[in-house]
Structure 1
Amino acid sequence: MKTAIISDTHGLLRPEALTAIQGCDLILHAGDIGSPEILDHLSQIAPVQAVRGNNDLELPWAANIPDHLSLDLNGWPTLLIHDIADVPAHLAANTRLIITGHSHKPLIEWRDNRLYLNPGSAGRRRFKLPVTLALLDVRADTLEPQLIHLLP
């Protein structure tokens, strides 16, 4: 299952991001969405699961979007949450994949038997951080993450 992981769009969905996620089976948005149109555009490509970020909390259209989601991705117990600081409160013992956003800093790191994945920010550039998203090939026995740089 090819999964696109995007975060921190803050209302900006770049054409480069849309190109990068074509052909994905699922899209996960790790918060700070910015506008409902982002989710509408993404859902034209593949089914979307999303969580609210700290910048979405006061937006009326985001009231029904959860703060975290526990998912099963092709047999991989997964936690989707915006801020890594909130992970301990929602982490189940069997969780193998933790997807976060918030920091705008991409991260792909195995910690023991868990993959921590932050796709970085696909929205406006912040400081000198890269503009990125992640693609994740989810197979029954492996997770193969790839960071995609959207701007040079």
Structure 2
Amino acid sequence: MTSSARTSPPSRIGLISDMHNLVRPEALEYLAGCDAIVHAGDICNPAVLDALAQIAPLTVVRGNNDTGDWAASLPTHATLAVQQVTILVVHDIADVRGDPRQEGIGVVVSGHSHKPSITERGGVLFVNPGSAGPRRFKLPVSAGILMVEGARAHARVDLLLE
């Protein structure tokens, strides 16, 4: 006997951070078609969030450069569930407390360093999409995509500019 278990299509989550008040057309094009967008802080102007909200629902955290009345309501930590994966979002990876895996977290998204990275530690995927804002030193201008299918997640980070 065969069963036809219904599976959800993969969810495509855009990952972006450290825009520092710069909304690049390349970033908007990159995120087009995402089911949701995660912004890991250093937005610097609410108009940045307005532009991203035109594309997909947002989960946002406050970065160290997000100040003023508009930023006061932004959380420093956020979680969201996508299919069977719980995602923790923080600006600075140093703000992750305890063992994310014991908290049921499968993915941690952070920003702050402007350095894109994808690593797995203790069964938790850590993703920093880098910076999509003004170029800093020789660091790339980048953003990422998190694909979630059931209880599995994998990420990639892509250059927005050469």
TM-score norm. by structure 1 comes to 0.95
Which whole-Å deviations, capped at 9, do the CAs of 1:68-116 have from their partners, x for residues lacking one? 1122122112110000011025846121110100000001111121000
- Contact preservation (8 Å) 2:85, 2:152: no
Distance 1:90 1:60 in 2: 32
1:100 pairs with 2:110: yes
Distance 1:23 1:123 in 2: 21
* Equivalence for 1:75: 84
Give the paired residue count: 151
Distance 1:151 1:33 in 2: 19
SS at match of 1:39: helix
In structure 1, stretches of 5+ residues that fail to align are none
Structure 1 residue 141, shift from structure 2 partner: 3.4
Percent identity of equivalent pairs: 48
Distance 1:50 1:111 in 2: 24
Over aligned residue pairs, what C-alpha RMSD do you find? 1.3
* Equivalence for 2:130: 120
1:51 pairs with 2:57: no
- Contact preservation (8 Å) 2:132, 2:142: yes
* Equivalence for 1:60: 69
* Equivalence for 2:50: 40
Structure whose CA Rg is larger: 2
In structure 2, stretches of 5+ residues that fail to align are 1-10
- Contact preservation (8 Å) 2:140, 2:159: yes
